[in-house]
């Protein structure tokens, strides 16, 4: 592939304001990456909390974000996303900055609630705002760029934090990380305030149709898509991230250092291939794209199981590095199609609610995966991989059978500030 081909693969043709928002997302994830590997270490070793308390503090952040997400979706169907995004980022900045001074568990839990509320509100508002700034045809590129921003920001942030903490493991080093994290949220809020247009909510255009989450619950097509993709999140993303390391350590010749290399292969490939993947899958039907992602996940799951048959470390490591890349291919394909499909299924006046449930599905899948996989790992380690592959194959076959019932174009396109539509464009 020539250098020109690579450059074309990375072109998104997205509006400048959307690129600015995605750069802001990368900076936010960089800040979060600074603290992510060291949150429990900071609270336990530096602040003296028990590991159980430290874990509950972190769970409070995710739990609060989950609770806040649906009400945020309802707000977004009535109010502009820009102020909600700004408020969410400022809340996150305040919450994470508070961790700098905590010395009692009660203070840490209060900071966790504030930070989690900000994360839940800002995440949903950010995705909704992005959708209002682009055309339906640009949605795959926007979701793809968002995943690149997330992976790149987290990876670079965690790497930088590792150097900072390794050079000086004292209170000031950890406080510096939390300060930088808070600054990234506050800076993003200021950038959004100054440079991002205050797009009107889609509800302003709605003339009819059901309202509330009951209306969403009556959308059988949406519910089926969501249910199938929870399964793919479990057998694809979380199985690789959470179940692969303990299985590989216990049942293959691969050591802990090589396990870290597998994750490097996976994240690096996602960063490199996610945007070009949008150009590949745009020639496929969405049902076929979901089936392809399912197939890649199934192949990767069986590849993990085959690594147990290789009795020398280098060979097993090379095989699992290939498996990590196959998982990454499945992730790239899946990410390109799922988010845009949810946005395309959403009536304009319910966009916020649809996107909030989309975020909940991702969170729920990532939470259920370790629980289900861990239980299977304890009962029958091999069943995780062949059973997961079988489930992925069944889901893929289901998508192929669904065919035309998976829409390839918006059913009710949301209003696009980028295109300057005065009313939602008809599907």
Chain segment 280-317, per-residue pLDDT in tens: 888 889 999 999 999 999 999 999 999 999 988 899 99
Instruction: Say which residue the tokens 């959470």 belong to.
Output: 242
Q: Average pLDDT for residues 191-213, to the nearest whole number?
A: 69
As a whole number of angstroms, the distance between CA 188 and CA 24 comes to 6
Please give the structure tokens belonging to residue 389. Answer: 């592959």
Q: What is the pLDDT of residue 210?
A: 63
Q: What is the pLDDT of residue 84?
A: 95
**Please, what is the Cα angle at 268 between 267 and 271, to 5 degrees?**
85
Residue 373 has pLDDT above 90, yes or no: no
pTM, two decimal places:
0.81
pLDDT bracket for residue 258 (50, 70, 90): confident
pLDDT bracket for residue 82 (50, 70, 90): very high
pLDDT bracket for residue 378 (50, 70, 90): confident
Cα 71 to Cα 125, 225, 260, 360: the distances in Å are 11, 22, 38, 12
As a whole number of angstroms, the distance between CA 228 and CA 224 comes to 6
Residue 412: DSSP 8-state:
B
Buried b (16+ CB within 10 A) or exposed e, 13-42: ebbebbebbbebbbbbbbbbbbbbbbbeeb
Of residues 84, 148, 83, 157, the one with CA closest to residue 120: 84
Q: What is the pLDDT of residue 238?
A: 84
Alpha helices by DSSP H, listed for 133-170, are 139-167
As a whole number of angstroms, the distance between CA 341 and CA 140 comes to 9
pLDDT bracket for residue 116 (50, 70, 90): very high
Q: What is the pLDDT of residue 200?
A: 63
Q: Three-state DSSP class for 372?
A: helix
Most confident of 15-29, 85-99, 301-315, 357-371: 85-99
Please give the structure tokens belonging to residue 154. Answer: 């987290």
Q: What is the pLDDT of residue 166?
A: 72
* 59-63, 332-336, 351-355, 417-421: segment of lowest average pLDDT: 417-421
Exposed, middle or buried by CB within 10 Å (0-12, 13-18, 19+), for 421? Answer: middle
Residue 144 has pLDDT above 60, yes or no: yes
* 92-106, 186-200, 246-260: segment of lowest average pLDDT: 246-260
Domains of the chain in start order, with CATH, are: 7-201 (1.20.1250.20), 213-405 (1.20.1250.20)
pLDDT, tens digit, for every residue of 175-197? 999 999 999 999 999 999 988 88
As a whole number of angstroms, the distance between CA 232 and CA 96 comes to 32
pLDDT bracket for residue 415 (50, 70, 90): very low
């Amino acid at each position: 592939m020539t250098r020109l081909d690579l450059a074309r693969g990375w072109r998104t043709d997205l509006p400048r304001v959307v690129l600015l928002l995605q750069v802001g997302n990368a900076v936010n994830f960089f800040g979060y990456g600074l603290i992510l590997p060291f949150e429990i270490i900071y609270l336990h070793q530096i602040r003296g909390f028990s590991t159980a308390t430290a874990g509950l503090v972190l769970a409070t952040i995710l739990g609060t974000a989950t609770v806040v997400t649906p009400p945020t979706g309802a707000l977004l169907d009535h109010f502009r996303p820009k102020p909600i995004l700004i408020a969410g980022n400022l809340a996150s900045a305040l919450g994470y900055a508070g961790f700098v001074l905590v010395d009692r568990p009660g203070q840490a839990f209060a900071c966790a609630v504030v930070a989690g509320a900000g994360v839940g509100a800002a995440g949903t508002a950010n995705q909704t705002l992005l959708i209002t700034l682009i055309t339906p045809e640009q949605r795959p590129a926007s979701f793809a760029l968002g995943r690149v921003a997330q992976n790149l920001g987290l990876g670079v942030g965690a790497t930088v934090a590792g150097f900072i903490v390794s050079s000086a493991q004292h209170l000031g080093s950890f406080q510096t990380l939390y300060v930088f994290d808070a600054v990234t949220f506050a800076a993003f809020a200021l950038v959004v305030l100054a440079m991002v247009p205050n797009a009107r909510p889609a509800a302003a255009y709605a003339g009819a149709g059901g309202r509330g989450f009951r209306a969403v619950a009556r959308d059988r097509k949406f519910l089926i898509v969501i249910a199938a993709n929870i399964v793919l999140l479990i057998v694809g993303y979380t199985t690789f991230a959470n179940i692969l390391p303990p299985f590989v350590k216990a049942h293959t010749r691969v050591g802990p250092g090589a396990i870290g290399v597998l994750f490097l292969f996976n994240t690096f490939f996602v960063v490199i291939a996610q945007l070009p993947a949008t150009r590949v899958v745009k020639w496929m039907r969405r049902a076929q794209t979901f089936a392809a992602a399912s197939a890649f996940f199934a192949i990767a799951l069986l590849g993990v199981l085959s690594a147990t048959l290789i009795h020398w470390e280098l060979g097993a490591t090379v095989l699992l590095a290939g498996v990590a890349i196959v998982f990454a291919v499945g992730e790239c394909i899946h990410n390109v199609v799922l988010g845009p499909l949810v946005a395309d299924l959403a009536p304009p006046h319910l966009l916020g609610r649809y996107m909030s449930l989309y975020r909940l599905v991702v969170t729920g899948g990532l939470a259920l995966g370790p629980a289900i996989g861990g239980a299977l790992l304890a009962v029958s380690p091999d069943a995780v991989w062949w059973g997961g592959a079988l489930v992925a194959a069944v889901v893929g076959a289901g998508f192929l059978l669904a065919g035309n019932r998976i829409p390839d174009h918006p059913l009710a396109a949301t209003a696009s500030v980028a295109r300057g539509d005065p009313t939602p464009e008809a599907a």
